[in-house]
Structure 1
Amino acid sequence: MINDKEFLKFEEGFFKPYFEKFIEFKRGKGEKVASSTLIRFRKMNNSLNQYQTNQISEKMIRELLAPRNGLSEIERQYMASNLRQFCSFLVLLGVNAAAVPPKYMKITRCEFRPYIFSDEELHRLVVVADSLSPSYRTKSHQQIYPVLVRMLIGTGMRIGEVLALKREDVDPINGVVKVINGKNGVSRYIPVSDSLKMVLSSYAETIDMSDEDKPFFISSYTGGHLTYDAMKYMFPKMFKAADIYMADGKTPNIHSIRHTFCTRSLEKMLDSGMNIYTAIPILAAYVGHVNYMDTEKYIHFTERGHKDFIEKEASLGSIFPEVIDE
C-alpha cells in the first residue's frame, strides 16, 4: 500500500484507486516512484476527473497532451509517457482506455554508442589485466584487476555494482554474487560460471573474507572501495594496451562490457534453442533491469539477422559466459 500522506492530494474520482494500484504495481517491479512522479500522477488524476467519465478516449488524450501556456515541452513529454503507461495498465484491468499515439512520444537521441567487443578483444583485455605491473605505491593492481575484469565480462554487472561489493556479498564457494540496492533499488543474486567461481575462490583466499563489511575490492590508497575515477583512469590504459579502439579512434566506454554481455548472452540462449520471449525476461532478471525495454536497449544483433533470432525454440542450456583465460 502507498503512504496515505503521498495520496492525500489526489482528488476523489473514478481513476484515483487505479492510480493507487498503478503505483503499487510499479513499485512491485522494483521501480522507484519518486515524489516528482507522484506529483505528476496527482495532476493527471485531477485533470482526468474534470471529464467526469470512467474511460479515457482519444479526444481526452489529444486535449491533455495539447501544447498550452504554462506546460513546458519537457513536462508534456513526461505527461505523454506517464499517460501511455497508465492507459496500458487500465486496459489490463479491463478499463476502456485508448492508446496514446506514437506521435506524442518524442524519440530521444543518446550520445553514448556502445561498443560490442569481439571474443578476441575480450581475451586481449584479460591478458593485459593479468600482466599489469605494480604501481610505485601498491601491488594491488596485479591482484584486483584480473578478477574485476573477469567479473565484468562474466556477469554483465554495472561497474558501480562491482565497486560497491562487500566481502559478505560474494560467496565464492557456491559461486553467487549478491547485489544490494543496485540501480532503481533492485537487489538480486547472480550465479556465476564455473570458471569465474574458480577465479573468485582464488582471490578470496588472498583477503580476509571474515571481515564481511570490508570492500571486496579495496583501494590500497584509501582503505575503502575502489572509485569510479580509478576505473576511468585504468580501463582506457588497459584498452590501449590491448589495442582495442572504436572506429573513431577512441577507447570504448567501460559500460560497453555490459552491452557486450547482454548481446552475447542472448545469442547463446537463442543458440541453445530458447525462444526470445523466454530469453529476454531471464536476461532482464539476471542483469537487474526493472522492465524488458531496458534489456532491449542492450541487445545489439551482431552476426545474424533478427529473423534467425526469433525462430529459435527449444531447451535451455548454459547461459552464463565462461571467463576468458589464456
Structure 2
Amino acid sequence: MNRENTFKSSLKDSLQGYINEKQAVGYSFAKGISMLRQFDNYLCSLPQNTTELTKEIVLEWTKRKSFEATSTQLGRISLMRGLAEYMSRMGKKAYIYPKSLVTVNRYSYTPYIFSKKEIASIFYACDNFPASKESPNRQIILSLVIRMIYGCGLRISEAVNLTVSDVNLNEGTIFIKDTKFGKERLIPMADTLKKRCREYSILVLTGKSDTSYFFPSPFGGHYKSNTIYGLFRKVLWAAGISHTGKGPRLHDMRHTYAVHCLKKWALANRDMTNCMPYLSAYLGHEDLRGSQRYLRLTADLYPDITSKVEKNCSWLIPEVNWHETY
C-alpha cells in the first residue's frame, strides 16, 4: 500500500522522495519504509526542526542500543547513508556516514551443515507433513521448496519469488532475478528435481490462471519466507533434529548444498581453482570470497579430505569465521 505524505517531520519530502526513488528502480523497500517511519517519529521528537540531515542527528539515531544486535544497528546506518546520498544528489545538506567508521564481522555465524542422513530425514518429514484445510497444497509446496533450496543452493527469498515462467520444465532450468546482489542467473536442475517440478506443476498449477507465482499462496500472492521458515522448524522436530533460536536455520540448507558440492569435487580430485568460479556464479555471490569460505568449512568438517582440499586450493582457503547471509 502506498502511503504517501504520511511523514510529519521537517524532512518529510526527502524521506518520501528517497522511497519513491528506491521503488522506481524495482525495490519494494518495505523494511526501509518501516525504519524511515521510526526515523520520522524521532525527528518529530526533537526540540528543534531542521531541514538538514546533520551529523549529530545521524550519529545519535544510529547509535547502538544495549539490547540490540550489531546487524540491527548496521541496518540503520546503511539506511541513513542511502538517505544522505539521495539528499546530496537533490542538492540538500546531509551528513553521509563514512564507511570507514564501520567494521563489520560478516562471518561471525557458523552455519550448521546437515549430514546426508539428516537431509533424507528432512525430505521424509516434508513429504509426510500434515495437510491444512486453509492451505490444501501446503505440504506439496513445502516439500518442493526445501528440495529447491538444497538442490540448487537457493536463498529462500529467491525460491518463493519464482514465477511460473522462471521455471523451465522442458529445459530443467530456473531463472533467478532480483537477487541480493542484483546478479541474475540461470540454474540447471538435477533430473530428479526437474521431474518433481513437473509433477508439482500438474498437481498444483494446472488450471491456475489467477497466479503467476510458482509457489502460490491460497491467500493471494506467493508463500512468504517467514511462513516457510516457520514450517521448516516444525519439519526439523519431525525429523528428530534438535534446534534452538540460533539454529539450525533454513539458510543452512543452502550452506549445506555448497559444502556437499565441494566435498564431492574434492573426492573426485577436481581442480578447485577452476571449480570455484562456477560455484560462486551458481550461488549468486558478489565475488569469490563468499564461496571461498566454504572451502575452510569443508576441510574442517571432513578431515579425511583435508589433504585433497589443501593440495588443490590451499591458497584459496581463508582464515575466517562465518555469517549467515551468504
TM-score, structure 2 normalization: 0.61
Cα pair 1:168 1:213 within 8 Å, conserved: no
Partner of 2:311: 311
Q: 1:234 aligns with which of 231, 237, 241?
A: 231
Q: How does 1:127-138 map to 2 (within 5 A)?
A: 127-138=124-135
Cα pair 1:275 1:311 within 8 Å, conserved: no
Partner of 1:283: 279
Q: 2:119 aligns with which of 119, 122, 125?
A: 122
Pairing 1:159–2:156 present: yes
The one-letter code sitting in structure 1 at the alignment partner of 2:217 is: S
Partner of 1:112: 109
- 2:249 is paired with a residue whose SS is coil
Q: 2:215 aligns with which of 204, 214, 217?
A: 217
- 2:118 is paired with a residue whose SS is helix
Partner Cα separation in structure 2 for residue 290 and residue 209 of structure 1: 38
Cα pair 2:172 2:189 within 8 Å, conserved: yes
Unaligned runs of 5+ residues in structure 2 are 1-78, 86-94, 314-326
Cα pair 1:235 1:254 within 8 Å, conserved: yes
Pairing 1:76–2:100 present: yes
Partner of 2:91: none
Pairing 1:244–2:235 present: no
Partner Cα separation in structure 1 for residue 207 and residue 154 of structure 2: 21
Number of aligned pairs? 223
Question: Shift of the alpha carbon at 1:298?
Answer: 4.0
Question: Shift of the alpha carbon at 1:251?
Answer: 4.5
Cα pair 2:181 2:284 within 8 Å, conserved: no
Partner Cα separation in structure 2 for residue 253 and residue 277 of structure 1: 29
Question: Shift of the alpha carbon at 1:134?
Answer: 0.9
Cα pair 1:275 1:310 within 8 Å, conserved: no
- 1:125 is paired with a residue whose SS is helix
Distance 1:234 1:71, change over 3 A: closer
Partner of 2:254: 258
Percent sequence identity over matched residues?
Answer: 26
Question: Shift of the alpha carbon at 1:306?
Answer: 3.7
Q: CA RMSD in A?
A: 3.2
The one-letter code sitting in structure 1 at the alignment partner of 2:131 is: P
The one-letter code sitting in structure 1 at the alignment partner of 2:99 is: E
Unaligned runs of 5+ residues in structure 1 are 1-33, 41-69, 79-105, 314-326
Question: Shift of the alpha carbon at 1:172?
Answer: 1.5
Partner Cα separation in structure 2 for residue 249 and residue 235 of structure 1: 13
Partner of 2:182: 185
Partner of 1:202: 199
Partner Cα separation in structure 2 for residue 280 and residue 208 of structure 1: 39
Q: 1:271 aligns with which of 261, 267, 272?
A: 267
The structure whose Rg is larger is 1
Partner Cα separation in structure 1 for residue 106 and residue 168 of structure 2: 40
Partner of 1:170: 167
Question: Shift of the alpha carbon at 1:179?
Answer: 0.5
The one-character-per-residue Cα deviations of 1:99-149 (angstroms, maximum 9, x if unpaired) are xxxxxxx57265533100000000000000000111232221122111111
Distance 1:212 1:111, change over 3 A: farther
Partner of 2:67: none
Partner Cα separation in structure 1 for residue 294 and residue 145 of structure 2: 21
- 1:297 is paired with a residue whose SS is helix
Distance 1:109 1:154, change over 3 A: closer
TM-score, structure 1 normalization: 0.61
Cα pair 2:211 2:221 within 8 Å, conserved: no
More helix per residue:
2
- 1:184 is paired with a residue whose SS is coil
Q: How does 1:44-63 map to 2 (within 5 A)?
A: none
Question: Shift of the alpha carbon at 1:184?
Answer: 1.2
